[in-house]
Structure 1
Amino acid sequence: MSSSAKTLPLEITIGQNTQNPLTVYRLGYGTMRLTGPGIWGEPANREEALQILKNAVQVAGVNFIDTADYYGEDVTNRLIAEALYPYPKNLIICTKVGATRKPDKSWVAFNRPEQLRTSIDNNLRTLKQEQISLVHFRVMLDSDVPFEESIEAMFELQKEGKILHVGLSNVTRDQLELGLTKGHIATVENMYSYHQRTTLVIHHNENRGGEEVLDLCEKNQIPLIPYFSLVTSLPTQNDKIGMIAQKYQVSKAQINLAWLLHKSRWILPIPGTSSLAHLDENLQAANIQLTAEDMAYLG
């Protein structure tokens, strides 16, 4: 290992400077890939899906799991409860609300205050919890409900004790800034990877990627949780990430995760997979110590 490599911080705190901070390891697990095709229905190999959850938590020590009741529908929540309940005391389950699925499998907004309450109650029931440690409000682009109305409803549910920490997902910088004026924003979950640093929604002319909010997250000590990180990590040209992968004899996906971990101590990757082998490979990325020269080369 080069002398310029530095040891990564192995933990991150959610809810920094609150009465209920939560400390988790810096590689979590995202469950979306445990569903069937189109993020719908049961997994192709249900036993392997259950074993992935058990291995992640009981063998690898992962203590942050990301889910949503509209994965499946409700497939990942039920798998989590079947595999892991009763939960270890240090396990943080993060879910998302703000969307739902129609019978045609389309994604639609479900973000009116009464709908958010319905989603929270459904998550509590299927996850077998009395309080959810962290809930992201997912912003749907074609919603007719003002963002401010939805986020105020989230903080009301927090006051009622149904939610411990409130986070945001798929937000612009302006929405994050507005959210911070309404209450404590514990986390932000936006699309982010080495090759997908910004996310421009052309028909809305809005940026909703990780790069747009990272500095604000760092300033406020808010973990940034990248989603779709591995999906967007495999380039077809200008393959600097491939060169670093070759240097360390690892996969491009592993270097993408290592880059995220080195990019900022406030980034919490949650790589998802439906393969036990890939679960092990993803988690090994935490052992890759990139040098300052590596990071400079990657840019």
Structure 2
Amino acid sequence: MSTITIAQHSAQPLTVSRLGYGTMRLTGPEIWGEPADRPQALEILKIAVASGVNFIDTADYYGEDVTNRLIAEALYPYPADLVICTKVGATRRPDKSWVPFNTPENLRTSIENNLRTLQQEQVQLVHLRLIGHGGVPFEEQLGAMFEMQREGKIQHVGLSNVSRADLEAGLKMGEIATVENMYGHGQRTTINLGHGDSQGGEEVLDLCEQHGIPLIPYFSLVNSLPKADSQIAEIAKKYGASEAQINLAWLLHKSPWILPIPGTSSLAHLRENLKAAEIQLTAENMAFLG
């Protein structure tokens, strides 16, 4: 697998393999509760890392707190090269709705919770996730993140679900290590998924490239939004691969600054996703895919 460097201009850059793993699917239905098959969830984490994955994406509101506890149970003490990335700025209600949790006090509570459940003294990378601004100015939220970075609780600060204007504003305040937005071949721009807008990666990719900021796509395998992706299906047929594999291969070929984090609760699908890194799309394939 090729590699990508996070916070390359900082004193503590992090180099990881260009195919990570997103843990959201390890939870129960609707991203709530314990996994249906806990032993398999733990095995997925172990095999992912054993297969060369050293970037894992999580959040304390997955479950809630389910994925963090699974990561610690499966992988602690952590390998020296493993980067665990978490998110703050949101929480879940008992009705499973997603709501902002983004005052400076909220953000500090979330960071302390992540440190506790992940059994870390410092979180290597934290995304400030925007679910609306919830009445709290963006600058106040991000300022609180940089304050905790100065305190040593956070090593690197990233942004998630941000517009181009948000990213431009963030870059004026300090170093933004990474951006995590919705992005895949079938869904590249902003869309409303029912709990607010999910910002698209296409709108910030060129800005990320200019500043050497890895773009981390979430929901990268949602090919059915807004419609079936016939172009991906055609290339998949030519390669004898799955549509998910071609979508991941397209992301890897689209830009050297993209770091996909496909998630799954199936060991078979994990192995399938990892094989996507071996697919070499031609210039003709990429032109056809757009």
TM, length-normalised to structure 1 = 0.94
Question: For 1:267, what is the secondary structure of its paired residue?
Answer: coil
Shift of 1:232: 3.2
1:143 aligns with 2:134: yes
- Hey, what does 2:183 align to over in structure 1? 192
Q: Deviations over 1:108-143 (max 9, x none)?
A: 100000110000000000000000000000001261
Stretches of structure 1 that go unaligned for 5 or more consecutive residues are 1-8
- Indicate conservation of the 8 Å contact 1:10/1:25, yes or no: yes
Cα shift at 1:65: 0.1
Question: 1:108 maps to which residue?
Answer: 99
| TM-aligned CA distance change 1:207 to 1:83, over 3 Å | closer
The answer to whether residue 207 in structure 2 is matched with residue 224 in structure 1 is: no
Report the counterpart of residue 182 of structure 1 in structure 2. 173
Tell me: CA distance 1:132–1:236, structure 2 relative to 1, closer, same or farther (3 Å): same
Shift of 1:231: 2.3
2-side partners of 1:206 and 1:97: how far apart? 17
- 5+ residue gaps in structure 2? none
Written as runs of structure 1 = structure 2, the 5 A alignment for 1:125-274 is 125-141=116-132, 143-201=134-192, 208-232=199-223, 236-237=227-228, 239-274=230-265
Partners of 1:205 and 1:279 lie apart in 2 by: 29
In structure 1, give the amino acid aligned to 2:34.
E
Query: How far apart in 2 are the matches of 1:131 and 1:19?
Result: 16
Shift of 1:103: 1.4
Asked if the contact 1:173–1:208 (Cα under 8 Å) also holds between the matched residues in 2, the reply is: no
Partner residue in 1 for 2:42 = 50
Correspondence for 2:87 among 87, 96, 99 = 96
For residue 189 of structure 1, give the secondary structure of its aligned residue in structure 2: strand
The answer to whether the 8 Å contact 1:233/1:253 transfers is no
Cα distance in 2 for residues equivalent to 1:65 and 1:202: 24
1:216-252 deviation digits (Å, cap 9, x = unpaired): 0000000000000112367855601111101110000
1:26 — aligned with what?
Answer: 18
TM-score (structure 2 length as normaliser) = 0.96
2-structure distance, mates of 1:206, 1:39: 18
How far does residue 106 in structure 1 lie from its aligned partner after superposition?
1.0
Do structure 1's residue 37 and structure 2's residue 25 form an aligned pair?
no
Q: Distance in 1 between matches of 2:79 and 2:252?
A: 25
Match of 1:13 among 5, 25, 40: 5
Distance 1:177 1:142 in 2: 16
How many angstroms apart in 1 are the aligned matches of 2:193 and 2:242? 32
Aligned residues: 290
Q: Is the 8 A contact 2:132 2:196 kept in 1?
A: no
Amino acid in the other structure paired with 2:178: T
Query: In 1, Cα distance between the equivalents of 2:149 and 2:35?
Result: 32
User: For the Cα contact (< 8 Å) 1:69–1:123, is it kept in 2?
Assistant: yes
Q: Distance in 2 between matches of 1:103 and 1:39?
A: 12
> How much has 1:204 moved relative to structure 2?
12
State the shift of 1:202 in Å.
10
Give the CA RMSD over aligned residues: 1.8
Matching residue within 117, 138, 145 for 2:108: 117
| Preserved contact between residue 234 and residue 253 of structure 1 (Cα < 8 Å) | no
Letter matched to residue 2 of structure 2? L
Contact 1:111–1:150 at 8 Å: present in 2 too? yes
Higher relative contact order (CA closer than 8 Å, sequence separation 6+): 1
- The sequence identity of aligned pairs, in percent, is 72
Q: CA deviation at 1:155?
A: 0.3
| 71 and 207 in structure 1: CA distance in 2 versus 1, 3 angstrom threshold | closer
Structure 1 position 61, deviation (Å): 1.2
Distance 1:266 1:238, change over 3 A: closer
